Every structure is written in structure tokens, then in C-alpha cells.
Amino acid sequence: MTSPVIQLKRGLLANLPALRVGEPGFTTDSYDLYVGLNSTTSGNKIIGSQRFWTNSTSSTGSGVNLVEGTSNGTSYVTLKAPDSLAGIVTYTMPGTDGSSGQVLSTNGSGTLSFIDAAATLNIADDNANTDALALLSDTLTFSEGEGINAVVSNNTVTISAEDATSSNKGVASFDATDFTVSSGAVTVNAERVQDIAGAMVTGNTETLITVTYQDADGTIDFVVDNDLANYSNTNSVFITAASSDTLTNKTFDANGTGNSLSNVEVADFAASAIVTEAEGIGSSDNDTSLPTSAAVKDYTDTAIGNIDLTVSTAGDSGTGSVSTSQTLTVSGTANEIETAASGQSISIGLPNDVTIGNNLTVSGNLYVNGSTTQVNTSTTTIEDQLLDLGMVDGSLPSSDLNKDIGVLFNYYSGSAKKAAV
């Protein structure tokens, strides 16, 4: 059987005739493949052309060419695939065009949409200072600070710390013998401090005292020479705790710094120098004796008990007085002022329900927080030219109050009735 032969009409694009239905044609100058639809030149429909794609190679991906109407393929825009793909990627274009200046954005699943391009970049520092950087005109500058280097190269900003010196902050290393560093916190090793202090003390020269550094527990032991024979007694006398020596004609400066007397009882003094409780201060009025604490307490208790102090009082009207043997009473007025006493405190305030017997004048603002304000007067005079209704706690409402706003008028015509505006 003879193999079938498919015949293509071929020639220059300008000479392409009207193709019959299903008849193919190929242009030798633009490399286009046409198929006829209705035996007219207008029915010649292009099926494909090398102008509309870029073939992939072993190292580059293929692309689709968008060719201008009059171009034979020398000028075009290519939508190209990456040189390497891990799978199938599908992008869904928007159904309508965006606004001027908008850009395409993906939702992360391949659906594209037009969004407004960011015009500025907001930047802030740790001190709450903020600024706005215009992306198309401004330049973001990284300035070096003390101990910090900033280098820009090949679209990369490298920020690094300088080595610290005695006059410049920066990165420093710490000897593990002297310091412990954890999570940015630097701690001086106690053992190192102890060793330094111990070496200072141990290497020193002391007189009549022995100093020993105990490295095991980090302590320093001081031992004083207790042999008084080793001390110079030329101008002083040493008396130990076990001594029973008697001091004769010696002056003790009790007012001097660090001097004190202890374990001294009344029996150790001459009887004429001390006034006891039994004797009483009143019978020993002189400048040569000292009273005991019991004698002083008895005297003051008696003197205070005999005192009756009187204090004068005065109010908005009337005066009075009260003595220490009496009770001062602070009274309130029913429904106007209430008082309460507890311990050493007296509280004066308004009751929960206050009644003003006469006129009340408020010089400042009057705030009434409640559900109902009732005014029982014959005539109400208001100087305000505008009444602001529908407020919520002094502010404009932030939600639907579900209430009408107006003024109700109560009157009687056969029965109680209301009219409203």
C-alpha cells in the first residue's frame, strides 16, 4: 500500500492563497503554519509559528514569545520558564486590568491579582524613633556607630563589631580563668578574686597577727597574738578577762568613742547617789543623785494622771470646750453629713442618699451618674440655647442605642396622656 502524502501549499506570506477547508499552508519567509476554514483568505487561520516560542536547550528553559503585529519575529517579549523546575507551576491571571501604578501579587497558590505598590518603607529604632523611606527616590544609609562597622558590597550590607579597646567599645574576649560568660552576662569568677585577695594578704608583713588564706572555703583567718608579753606596756596596762585587778584613782571616759560600762548594778554605787522607787523622786530634789527607771515611771504616771487639759472648740456657729477627762463628739446631720469613729480616726463624709434642705449652688460642672434624673419644681429655667440629646457618658454613641430621641410632654385630657417631638 502506498504511503499517504500530505501536501502543503508553501510560499511567501504575501502570496498565501485562500486555503480550502482543512487545507494546510506554510510560509517560507515567516515560518508560519496556516489552515483554511472557508476557502477565503480571511479564513486562513495561523496554527503556529517559530516566532511564538523559544525552544529550550540543555541548560535553559523554553519561553512563549509575544510578537508585535508587524513583526516577523525579530522583535518580541518572552515569558520564559526557569532553567530548573521541581514540578508543575500554574499561574492564574486576573480577569480585569488593575489601576495605574499597581503591580501583580500572588496569594501563594498561583492566583495573581493587582495590588498597590508600596511607595514608602517605614523604619524604626529601639528608641521609638520612626521615619518613612521613599522606595523610588530615597537612599537607606547604614551609619557606623562606636564599635560597629557597616560595609555595603554587591547589594549586601555587612554589619560587624570592632575589637574593643580601652577607648572604644566593641567585641571583647574574656579569660575563662577570670570570667564566666553566659547568655551575654559576664560574671567575675569568685575563685579568681579570692586567689588575688589571698595572695595580697599572705604576701604582706603583719605585726602580732597571723593571716592565712584558706583556698578550700575561700576565707581568710586572722589570729591575734594573745601573749601580752609581746606587746609594749610602756604607756598602757593590759587587764585580761580572768584578772581581778583593782583600778585605783583611774578615770573612765564614758563619753569617749567606743567606751561603755556594763554589768554595773545599783548596789555598786554609794547609796546617796541613787534614788530608788521606794524613796521617790519628790523627796530627792537635788543635782547630785540619779533616779532609777521605776522611780521615774512612778513619778510621771502620777504627774500625768493629775493633768486635765482643756481644748477650746469652735464651729461655723457657736463655741465650746472639751477636757482630757471628757469625750469629744463629732456629730453629723441626718441625710446631709455622716461621721464614723474607729481607733484614732474620725471619718466625715456624705451619706449615700443626700438631702439639701435649702439652695444648692454648683460653681463648676455637675455630673449625675444614674438611670433617672427627677426635677420636682414649678418652673425650670435653662440658659442653654442647644440641648444635646442621645449622648453616652458625655460622649457620642459608638453603637446603636435602639432608642428614639425626642422630648415627651405629659398632659391630662380625661386621662394621663403623652405627646412627643
Residue 291 lies in a domain: yes
Residue 278 lies in a domain: yes
CATH of the domain at 37: 2.10.10
pTM of the model: 0.29
How many residues in the chain? 421
- DSSP helix/strand/coil, 271: helix
CB 76 within 8 A of CB 65: yes
Residue 211 lies in a domain: yes
Residues 369-394 pLDDT 10s: 888 888 888 898 888 888 888 888 88
Residue 214 lies in a domain: yes
Residue 30 lies in a domain: yes
Residue 45 lies in a domain: yes
Q: How many domains does the chain have?
A: 3
Residue 135 lies in a domain: no
Q: Which residues of the chain have pLDDT under 70?
A: 1, 56, 69-73, 136, 229, 231-272, 283-285
What is the DSSP code string of 45-75? EEEEEGGGEE---SSS--EEEEE-TT-SSSS
Domain boundary pick from 254, 285, 304: 304
Residue 112 lies in a domain: no
Q: What's the pLDDT at 253?
A: 66
Measured in degrees and rounded to the nearest 5, phi and psi for residue 236 equal -150, 165
Q: What's the pLDDT at 244?
A: 63
Q: What's the pLDDT at 250?
A: 67
Q: What's the pLDDT at 416?
A: 93
Q: What's the pLDDT at 96?
A: 93
Q: Which domain holds residue 288?
A: 265-304
Residues 250-300 pLDDT 10s: 666 666 666 666 666 656 666 667 777 777 777 666 777 777 888 788 878
Interatomic CA distance for residues 269 and 273, integer angstroms: 7
Q: What's the pLDDT at 166?
A: 81
